[in-house]
Structure 1
Amino acid sequence: MKSATLKKRHFFWILLVLALMHLSQLMAKNDAQSGGWTPPIEPPGSVIVTPLSESSPVQRPVNRTAESPKRLATAAPATTTAHQLPPPTQASGSEAALRQAIDQWSQAWGGQAIPQYLGMYASDFEPPKGLSRPAWVKQRTQRIASKKSIRHDIQNLTIQFNASQATVRFTQIYQDERVRSIDRKTMHWVWRSGQWQITREATD
């Protein structure tokens, strides 16, 4: 009896060991299958779409190349302004400036703008007929102010330059409510203190 009982126990332990070994092999196989899994390889040209949660931040690449020209363009005007030089001072009057001065003189006379008209004459202007400067100013003021209207036109203008001086000749057409005259006039202008001024004049 004892021998039969021992055989049964021995057989039971053998079955138990075999069952444990089989179970261990099954577990090892499952681990190998789960650890060696690889994602499926998509064919060329396919797109894998992965859903994002609302809380997931989306990072967009910053275009550094596009920002750089903007910064340079913003800084460039300041550099240009800092190095901008003032226009050079004009040493002598141009012909265009002289023509503009002659036109202003004619308009001041025709418009009876006496201060502007007299302001076109230099301080060393030589009045005709030996008049003094105060006597000439008084005479011209009375003659211009006494007229109801004056029309003064210039034709056939010629200009001769000599450094900062110029000789001007033209046909002068003068008319007021009583007199109309056409004369040839010669004037000498000088560039002084940044403007053209009259130093002499004569009517033929």
Structure 2
Amino acid sequence: AIEKSVLAWANAWEQQNMPAYYSAYSSRFEPQGSTLAAWKTERKERIVGKPAITVTVNDLKTSVQGERATASFRQYYASGGYKATTRKTLRLQREGDKWRITREETGR
């Protein structure tokens, strides 16, 4: 279920499907150095209308502790002439029958 949630998040990002992308995040998501509303605006500006986006999740490792989970992976991102590969860790919380992102860390 966690792997499915992570891959759905990456797919929504690739498809520039903002409702699906936002729904991957918990209402308790706390973006670093920003409010949730400001983060949503900034993400929309950075995603919608860009040249084709590719987001690939490699070497996905997950762990679950009750209602919380961690997903760590190498993320490959490409759009236009920009390409990047980074380590990413997502902290997730079970909300009903879905796992939603509560924290996102890059480079760990």
Q: TM-score range by the shorter chain?
A: over 0.9
2:99 paired residue number: 196
Counterpart selection for 2:64 from 161, 177, 181: 161
Residue matched to 1:171: 74
RMSD: 0.8
Runs of 4+ in 1 over 2 A off after TM superposition: none
Instruction: Tell me the TM-score normalized by structure 1.
Output: 0.51
Query: Which deviations, in whole Å up to 9, do the C-alpha atoms of 1:44-102 show, x marking residues without a partner?
Result: xxxxxxxxxxxxxxxxxxxxxxxxxxxxxxxxxxxxxxxxxxxxxxxxxxxxx111111
Alignment pair present for 1:139 and 2:42: yes
Higher relative contact order (CA 8 A, sep 6+): 2
Unaligned runs of 5+ in 2: none
Q: Structure 1: how far apart are the matches of 2:95 and 2:22?
A: 16
Matches within 5 A, 1:29-108: 97-108=1-12
Write the distance in 2 (CA, Å) between the matches of 1:202 and 1:178: 24
Higher-helix-fraction structure: 1
Q: Which of 183, 187, 198 pairs up with 2:86?
A: 183
Q: Answer 1 or 2: which has greater strand percent.
A: 2
**Greater Rg over alpha carbons, structure:** 1
CA distance in 2, matches of 1:186, 1:100: 15
TM-score w.r.t. length of structure 2: 0.95
In structure 2, how many angstroms separate the alpha carbons of the residues matched to 1:135 and 1:175?
Answer: 24
Q: How many residues align?
A: 107
Taking the aligned partners of 1:120 and 1:161, their CA distance within structure 2 comes to 17
Counterparts of 1:108 and 1:192, CA distance in 2: 19
**Post-superposition offset of 1:160:** 1.3
